[in-house]
Amino acid sequence: MSPEVLLIVLIVVLIASTTLEQVARALQIRHQPPEPPPEVAEAVDADAYATAQRYARDRGRLGLARGVTLLTVWIVLLASGALAGGYALADAWTNGGWLAPLLFLGGVFLLLDLISLPFAIYATFGIEARYGFNRTTPGLFVRDKLISYALTVVLGGPLLALLFWSIDAWGGAFWLPYAAVIALVLVLLAMFQTSVLLPLFNRLTPLPEGSLRDAIADYASANGVALDGIYVMDGSKRSSRANAFFAGLGRQKKVVLFDTLIERNTVAEVVAVVAHEVGHERLRHIPKLLAANVAAITITLFLMSLLVESSTLSAALGASERIVALNLIGVALLFGPVSTLLGVLGNALSRRFEYEADAFAARTASAAAMCDTLRSFVQHDLALATAHPLYTALELSHPAPVERIRAITTTDATAP
């Protein structure tokens, strides 16, 4: 394939993936029935239901503007040869040293992030604020951004340097040893997520005394759960929306409840959420998802190894010689459809785990309370009640509320 044809292929792949994303979102918004579906109707009023549709449309429009902007930037970067020019600049600054590729990729990352920034600001202080969800102050927004940049440099920098070193040392065979390193890093990150990473952004506190703690203690002792592994997080400092999650590996395993969930939902509903998160722990969903992630990254690295030393790819991006850092960008764009496919598989696995955790909550706590919690996400957090199959496949790690309620009620009815 000639560099010119390869450049056209890259641009076509980019346009196709942006189109697919936007079509899926449009289908998702159109897919919603005009009235609340029967599964949620008892807890969702017509007003909240209509507001949820407007909220989705507003976010959809912003997503479209962001998607088209980034697509345009990429096409300009690719077609103008600016990427090769940028690399030459980084190379000159560092006198051809080992920092050149890191500086170049860091620069591309920063450029794309700064272009996305106005959209992120409008999402938080425009849309989220308009619908009454936002509680992030400008100061907190800046602080979050700076910490994210620092983490990217501290974690991403050395990993990227190691990647270039591995390609240098092993050529096309770099993918296997490097995948092993990434696997180790992912395990460490999962292990220390709640003890090191999360505290950079949020505060975790033990469950406060009261009827909720008593109810959770009853559930915990009946089901052999350690009560001191259940924490409350100050999610309210960024948003009024409610959530909960289970994270960590080994001794660092934690069930984390947002303070907003505790404020808003009934004791029975919060216990059902705790049971759902305990389900994720009991059914070993974290290590399973981690293994799936490692498999996906290994496949991606292997594909990368096929093209990372290609002179044609560098030429397609405007360089007169082979440049590995440039090829990494080319490979990432070219294999976008493969990442999409791996994402579809990952989402499917994650949704299966959500159904399993819901069933666990229905079995060990209360099916009715779990369904009520899901209804509260539609009524209060303006979650869309149903989901189009294409949007589900591409975007959703959690099934739509109506589908989860349906699964819980049918399983519950057939339970012995």
Reported as type and span, the H/E element at residue 190 is helix 175-192
For residue 271, how far is the Cα from the chain centroid? 26
Task: Tell whether residue 220 is a contact of Zn ion (CB under 5 A).
Answer: no
Task: Tell whether residue 100 is a contact of Zn ion (CB under 5 A).
Answer: no
Q: Smaller CB distance to Zn ion: residue 325 or 365?
A: 365
Determine the angle formed by the axes of helices 175-192 and 157-170, rounding to 10 degrees. 160
Task: Tell whether residue 369 is a contact of Zn ion (CB under 5 A).
Answer: no
Calculate the dihedral angle through the C-alpha atoms of 291, 349, 388, 336, rounding to the nearest 10 degrees.
20
Q: Which two tokens stand for residue 411?
A: 């399983």
The residues pairing with 205 across neighbouring beta strands, listed in sequence order, are 232
C-beta of 219: minimal distance to Zn ion in Å?
17
Q: What are phi and psi of 345, to 5 degrees?
A: -65, -45
Q: How far apart are CA 268 and CA 374, in angstroms?
A: 13
Q: Smaller CB distance to Zn ion: residue 57 or 284?
A: 284
Task: Tell whether residue 272 is a contact of Zn ion (CB under 5 A).
Answer: no
- Which residues have CB under 8 Å from 20's CB, separation 6+? 340, 394
Per-residue contact string for residues 347-366; x = within reach of Zn ion by CB under 5 A: -------x--x---------
Q: CA angle, 145 as apex, 144 and 148 as ends, to 5°?
A: 85
Task: Tell whether residue 7 is a contact of Zn ion (CB under 5 A).
Answer: no
Q: Smaller CB distance to Zn ion: residue 326 or 357?
A: 357
Q: How far apart are CA 162 and CA 179, in angstroms?
A: 11
Q: Smaller CB distance to Zn ion: residue 310 or 373?
A: 373
What residue type is 335 in one-letter code? F
C-beta of 280: minimal distance to Zn ion in Å?
6
Give the total of residues touching Zn ion (CB under 5 A). 2
C-beta of 402: minimal distance to Zn ion in Å?
16
Q: What are phi and psi of 49, to 5 degrees?
A: -60, -45
Task: Tell whether residue 207 is a contact of Zn ion (CB under 5 A).
Answer: no
**Could you tell me if 387 and 252 are in contact, meaning their C-beta atoms sit under 8 angstroms apart?**
no
Per-residue contact string for residues 129-158; x = within reach of Zn ion by CB under 5 A: ------------------------------
Per-residue contact string for residues 305-344; x = within reach of Zn ion by CB under 5 A: ----------------------------------------
- Stated length of the chain: 416
Task: Tell whether residue 257 is a contact of Zn ion (CB under 5 A).
Answer: no
Task: Tell whether residue 244 is a contact of Zn ion (CB under 5 A).
Answer: no
C-beta of 395: minimal distance to Zn ion in Å?
16
Task: Tell whether residue 286 is a contact of Zn ion (CB under 5 A).
Answer: no
Interacting residues toward Zn ion by CB under 5 A: 354, 357
